[in-house]
């Protein structure tokens, strides 16, 4: 047996074709093969390796017509298993075809939409060179009646003072636009320095019954209880020491029930 060609020269493949098995046995009988005994070859044909081609040609000279036909058949399966026949194509129903086309169109539209919006989103969120938008203009409120408190605490801006209206809404107000007196007054006719004062006030912590007229710097009202706490100094105090005073009232028209008005305020958020 000729072993010059190393590994086996053919691989057996089951088929329904019978092509001159005696001549095929002669063609591969001179090389080492793992195709089994030639007796077991009915219902089988073979694919030759390149090394077996030379041997098949020698046998072709002895049986030219038959071997020639066999060799042509074997070349179609040269070295590899013949591919199994493809399954017949399944025809799609019109309804299924329409659904497939619609799905493809939706995917295409979504991909184009994300491509068109994604770069703009990246630029807007993370581009360090992007110019930030200007801050929104502050909301300005006018005719704010500081019924609950005025200047009891100072905002960060030294030109502003706190103001809380009767509805407990908090503001920061420009003191140059605030006035005492009536709503129709202004910073000149109702100057806070001259018009924001309370009568009949008791100094907190003083057990005496003495009352004072107090020029207030700020106040914190207790409207339901009928009094306010004024922070200021009493008239007649040569040192003008600032104290806390309790200033009651009896009716809505009393002096101690008057409050500051401001015409330029910013809501506190």
Residue-wise pLDDT for 100-147, tens only, equals 888 887 887 777 766 555 555 555 556 677 788 888 877 889 999 999
Q: Are residues 164 and 259 in the same domain?
A: yes
Number of domains the chain contains: 2
- Domain end, chosen from 45, 60, 75, is at 75
Max CA pair span of the chain: 147
Q: With respect to residue 129, please indicate whether it lies within any of the assigned structural domains.
A: no
Q: With respect to residue 133, please indicate whether it lies within any of the assigned structural domains.
A: no
| pTM over 0.75, yes/no | no
- Domain end, chosen from 41, 60, 75, is at 75
Can you tell me the distance from the alpha carbon of 259 to that of 126, in angstroms, rounded to the nearest whole number?
Answer: 50
Residues with Cβ < 8 Å from 114, sequence gap 6 or more?
none
CA angle 238-242-244, nearest 5°? 130
Can you tell me the distance from the alpha carbon of 11 to that of 37, in angstroms, rounded to the nearest whole number?
Answer: 12
SS3 124: helix
- Domain end, chosen from 47, 75, 103, is at 75
Q: Are residues 152 and 261 in the same domain?
A: yes
User: Does the pLDDT at position 215 exceed 70?
Assistant: yes
Q: With respect to residue 53, please indicate whether it lies within any of the assigned structural domains.
A: yes
Q: What is the pLDDT of residue 82?
A: 46
Q: 75 versus 221: which is more confidently predicted?
A: 221
| 62: containing domain | 10-75
Q: How many CA atoms lie within 13 A of 127 on its CB side?
A: 11
Q: Are residues 71 and 152 in the same domain?
A: no
User: Does the pLDDT at position 193 exceed 70?
Assistant: yes
Over the stretch 4-53, which tens digit does the pLDDT of each residue have? 444 444 444 433 334 444 554 555 444 444 455 555 545 444 444 444 55
Q: With respect to residue 14, please indicate whether it lies within any of the assigned structural domains.
A: yes
């Amino acid at each position: 047996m000729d072993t010059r060609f190393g590994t086996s020269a053919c691989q057996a493949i089951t088929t329904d074709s019978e092509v001159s098995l005696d001549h095929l046995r002669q063609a591969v009988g001179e090389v080492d093969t793992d195709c089994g005994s030639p007796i077991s070859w009915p219902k089988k044909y073979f694919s030759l390796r390149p090394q077996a081609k030379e041997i098949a040609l020698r046998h072709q000279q002895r049986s030219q017509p038959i071997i020639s036909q066999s060799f042509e058949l074997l070349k179609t399966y040269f070295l590899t298993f013949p591919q199994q026949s493809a399954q017949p194509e399944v025809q799609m129903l019109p309804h299924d075809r329409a659904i497939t086309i619609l799905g493809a169109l939706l995917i295409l539209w979504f991909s184009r939409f994300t491509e068109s919006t994604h770069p703009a989103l990246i630029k807007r969120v993370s581009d360090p060179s992007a110019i930030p938008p200007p801050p929104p203009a502050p909301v300005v409120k006018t005719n704010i009646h500081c019924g609950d408190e005025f200047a009891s605490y100072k905002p960060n801006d030294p030109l502003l003072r706190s103001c809380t209206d009767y509805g407990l809404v908090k503001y920061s107000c420009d003191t140059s636009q605030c006035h005492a007196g009536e709503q129709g007054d202004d910073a000149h006719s109702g100057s806070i320095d001259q018009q924001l004062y309370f009568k009949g006030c008791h100094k907190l912590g003083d057990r005496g019954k003495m009352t004072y007229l107090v020029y207030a710097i700020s106040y914190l009202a207790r409207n339901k209880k009928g009094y306010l706490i004024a922070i200021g100094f009493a008239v007649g105090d040569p040192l003008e020491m600032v104290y806390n005073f309790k200033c009651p009232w009896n009716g809505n028209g009393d002096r101690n029930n008057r409050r500051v008005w401001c015409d330029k305020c910013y809501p506190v958020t």
